[in-house]
A and B are shown apart, each in its own frame.
Chain A
């Protein structure tokens, strides 16, 4: 599922997730947004609001850039956090998730969850770039910040999806090679008289994964590493471009 779009964006349709999950995630997201909006005030933030809007538009456009045979899209979430700061970056992620939901890219009920997961990418990436790694050179700063942020957000996505509807659902969309067998008594399957209930194991889901010549866990890891590499590569080159052309836009003390 996540392999067909950018790495950690959840594309679960409406009606799949338990209500308590998506309602809670919405509440947490809105509380965070209200707190951020309350903290951020003043002329400096008002000056950044149009920039946050264009950053959101850029991220939406970047998501529509196809990469050919690679089943991924860019998210530019870490770049967003680096350029406009973690607070505004988190709000921008909510805006993007909501607008994508209007077009059916992910259910409207999953907006809160998507904001929390991709927002974590923004927050971790921005914090690592601005604080933890501020004494490093630009390329290692960006690479480490992006890789760690992506790993955390993908892990969060897998954890959320796995605990709610099964880890198999978090795997990239290529499940065409199922081989279902009614094996009564087999430890993989459990057969009732009234209702056939089959435990679809993670191993089965992974076995169905195929990417180029890789299968199984190799395919999963290939797609994951390819996604992280591409996102990190593009983010690093863009930040390097900014350092050459407009280094003032990377000044962290004015970022919110």
Chain B
């Protein structure tokens, strides 16, 4: 899934979660991550993942399109789980479910929340310089991905890349990276001039609306608190 498609889903959704304020969404993410990390039983972790799947369904985020991003951490967790399986099947499954749950939580956040809003919240606690770099990175990724693709295509058209010529490919790859870097640096210098003309003085001002809370915010806060209580208090359904 292309990063721009992810961005499109986050910015164009119409569910209650998409409409909610970014603070409520970040609160939900934090509570969900905490619950997953502190949970130590398969039942709890499975329930949390079911809740996440339910959220994907309700918010109409196409899980089939974004879910493959969770395969990567699930794969790495299996490597740790293999060791834990020697202790017990439960221990191994817990490792896999924790990795899957945490990955799905982050994927859910970025597919329902614009990156700009996430950075805006981070600007409350992180230094301005760092947040500015986040913004410029986010902007540059889209431009440079296209540029890299075009450069790679022109190398292939000129015979500079062949699938079975490892040595030639490795020789040409640094030139591709070097050209891309030089283009990026020139782009960065142009960006600085353009932003300076627009009044950039070392701080990109961002605003996000967090008050008053709307009904979506209240629903999300309620769900989050429910998850926290359910995880912290030991429930015995029998």
- Contact residues of A with B, CB < 8 Å? 1, 4, 11-16, 19, 33-34, 37-38, 40-41, 45-47, 49-58, 60-62, 65, 68, 74, 76, 83, 88, 91-92, 94-96, 98-99, 101-109, 165-166, 168-169, 173, 175, 178, 180, 195-198, 200, 230, 233-234, 237-238, 241-242, 245-246, 249
Contact = CB atoms under 8 A, between A and B. Distances in A.
Given A83-B181, A166-B83, A237-B178, A50 B191 contact: yes
A104 B178 contact: no
Interface centre among A50, A230, A249 (most CB of B within 10 A): A50
Given A15-B36, A49-B129, A54-B188, A103 B137 contact: no
Interface of B: 33, 36-37, 69-70, 72-73, 76-77, 79-80, 82-83, 86-88, 94-95, 98-99, 102-103, 106-107, 109-110, 126-130, 132-141, 143-145, 148, 163, 166, 170-171, 173-175, 177-182, 184-185, 187-189, 191-192, 195, 200-202
Contacts of B178: 237-238, 241-242, 245
B182 A15 contact: no
B133 A95 contact: yes
Contacts of A13: 73, 76-77, 80, 95, 98-99, 102-103
Given A49-B129, A53-B133, A104 B106 contact: yes
15 contacts: A13-B99, A14-B36, A15-B95, A46-B200, A53-B140, A54-B184, A55-B181, A56-B136, A61-B141, A83-B181, A107-B99, A108-B106, A241-B179, A242-B178, A242-B181
Contacts of B110: 102-103
Contacts of A166: 83
Chief secondary structure at chain A's binding surface = helix
B112 to A, nearest CB: 12
Contact of B174 (A88, A102, A234): A234
In the A-B complex, the 5 residue pairs with the closest CB atoms: A53-B136, A13-B99, A237-B174, A241-B178, A15-B98
A81 to B, nearest CB: 14
A42 to B, nearest CB: 9
Contacts of B128: 37
Nearest to B106: A102
Interface centre among A49, A51, A168, A234 (most CB of B within 10 A): A49
Contact of B136 (A54, A175, A237): A54
B141 A60 contact: yes
B156 to A, nearest CB: 14
Nearest to B184: A54
A196 B106 contact: no
A116 B187 CA distance: 29
B86 A200 contact: yes
B80 to A, nearest CB: 6
Given A12-B80, A13-B98, A46 B107 contact: no
Contacts of B106: 101-104, 108
A94 B180 CA distance: 22
A3 to B, nearest CB: 11
A242 B37 CA distance: 45
A233 to B, nearest CB: 7
Given A99-B137, A242-B182, A1 B79 contact: yes
A56 B137 CA distance: 6
Nearest to B174: A237
B237 to A, nearest CB: 24
